Structure 1
Amino acid sequence: MEAITMRTRLITTAAVIVGLLIVSVSLFAHHGNAEFDIGKRVTVKGIITRWSWSNPHCFLSFEVKGDTGAVTQWVVETQPPRSVTAGGFSQKTFKPGDEVIVTLEPVKNGRPLGRMLEVVLPNGKKLVTGHLD
């Protein structure tokens, strides 16, 4: 009888721990907007180096040449594939070497990171993410 009670407690405790881990992982899987300078818009022209079509966010990496000729690598995120497809984005929207104009909300710390608001493709077509007001 005592062995059955101990086994039941062990199984119950293990189930609770696994349940808490599952809930905590999902709570931390998505970040908030605190790192972005909401309302500040920056527009840069750059050359695509990588387009990552993935969950939980798509990422666009591109190089921007500054006034002095120095090149800065920018990375911007947008929503997941399912959310941006309606706006015209696809896995094949960007190719390395494409020149684009990106409007973004930068991060507050000044690093070359941000959240994509819109992008003008080489053919002149403008795509807007769901982040734009």
Structure 2
Amino acid sequence: MHKIILPLLVFAFAAPASAHHSFAMFDPARTVTLNGTIKEFRWVNPHVSLFVLADHPGAAPELWAVELTSPGNLTRLGWTRKSLAPGDKVTVEVNPLRDGQKGGGFRKLTLVSTGQVLVARLIDIEKNGER
């Protein structure tokens, strides 16, 4: 009986752990600031994503893919699926992808029109004195 239960328990606990990916692809030691326009805001599980057409002096805007945390985590921080919309002018701080592609892990966003700052971690809210 124990020979059957133990492998089942191992599998049961291993499956959820393997379903979530790491943020190791982003370089936490570097921050890149993007000034541009929201192209798309996807409010989906497991991670919300944002596509920004970043201004690139002397050239066409560059499309950057930005990964955030889950909709549930963002909701607890005051975000909604309508927090951002295509066409919004923004300044976004990201930890860039280690491989040099145009993407990053979200750190902070400022809406140019209102100055509203959006963060995705409670520690950032506390650091900015907003709570």
Task: Give the TM-score band, short-chain normalised.
Answer: 0.7 to 0.9
Separation in structure 2 between the aligned mates of residue 103 and residue 119 of structure 1, nearest angstrom: 6
Instruction: Tell me how large the CA RMSD over aligned residues is.
Output: 2.4
Question: 5+ unaligned residues in a row in structure 2: which ranges?
Answer: none
1:128 maps to 2:99:
no
- The TM-score with structure 1 as length reference comes to 0.77
Superposition deviation, residue 39 in structure 1: 2.4
Deviations 1:44-76 (A, max 9, x none): 111111111111110001101211222211110
Separation in structure 2 between the aligned mates of residue 41 and residue 34 of structure 1, nearest angstrom: 15
Q: How does 1:47-86 map to 2 (within 5 A)?
A: 47-86=37-76
Partner residue in 1 for 2:22: 32
Sequence identity percentage: 30
Structure having the higher Rg:
1
Deviations 1:8-44 (A, max 9, x none): xxxx8xxx6xx94x65542332111221101211111
User: Number of aligned pairs?
Assistant: 120
Please tell me the residue identity of whatever aligns with 2:80. Answer: S
Question: 5+ unaligned residues in a row in structure 1: which ranges?
Answer: 1-11
Q: How does 1:10-25 map to 2 (within 5 A)?
A: 20=11, 25=15
Partner residue in 2 for 1:5: none
Separation in structure 2 between the aligned mates of residue 25 and residue 74 of structure 1, nearest angstrom: 31
